[in-house]
Copies of this chain bind each other. A is one copy, B any other.
Amino acid sequence: MTPLLTAQARLERYIERQGLKQTRQRSVILEAFLAAGSHLSVEEVLRAVQAVQPAIGAATVYRTLKLFVEAGLAHERNFGDGQARYEAAHDDEHHDHLICTDCHTIFEFEEPEIERRQAEVADKHGIRLRSHRHEIYGECVERERCPRWPRS
């Protein structure tokens, strides 16, 4: 389960291969990003980053998160609330999402049969499958267990 290379090492490798430069900001942002949780908005990452290095600006965080995606270290998600969310990539693992529209809890799921049918569909339409997005929206059945259901 332990990756062959740490995320920091994978970032370094990518940066080197692309002829880019290693910077303090990039490593700080990666560390904060990995530590802060999952499905984070840019704003959330920015907050975590600035807790450590207040001088790091929002533009850098935007640029760096995109770099992480290119480097295969993160995935960008869009759950329809108008802001991008980022999630650390765990190699070889794939999952889709289930979102409670009341409390915004995000569950992850994996359903090989769905993946298989999906591949068939792409095939049938003459499309080379590159990626997909599959999200299920609903509400927690037991509201008592749902931490943030609407108050009113």
Chain A interfacial positions (CB closer than 8 Å to B):
78, 80, 98, 100-101, 107, 109, 111, 113-114, 117-118, 121-122, 125-142, 145
Contacts and interface: CB of A to CB of B under 8 A. Distances in A.
A142 B126 contact: yes
Contacts of A140: 126-128
A132 B134 contact: yes
A117 B111 contact: yes
A100 B136 CA distance: 22
A59 B122 CA distance: 37
Contacts of A133: 80, 133-135, 137
Given A111-B117, A126-B141, 4 more contacts: A107-B127, A111-B118, A118-B136, A128-B141
B134 A134 contact: yes
A63 to B, nearest CB: 18
Nearest to A118: B136
Given A125-B109, A127-B98, A127-B100, A135 B132 contact: yes
Contact of A125 (B107, B117, B121): B107
Given A127-B100, A130-B101, A141-B128, A136 B121 contact: yes
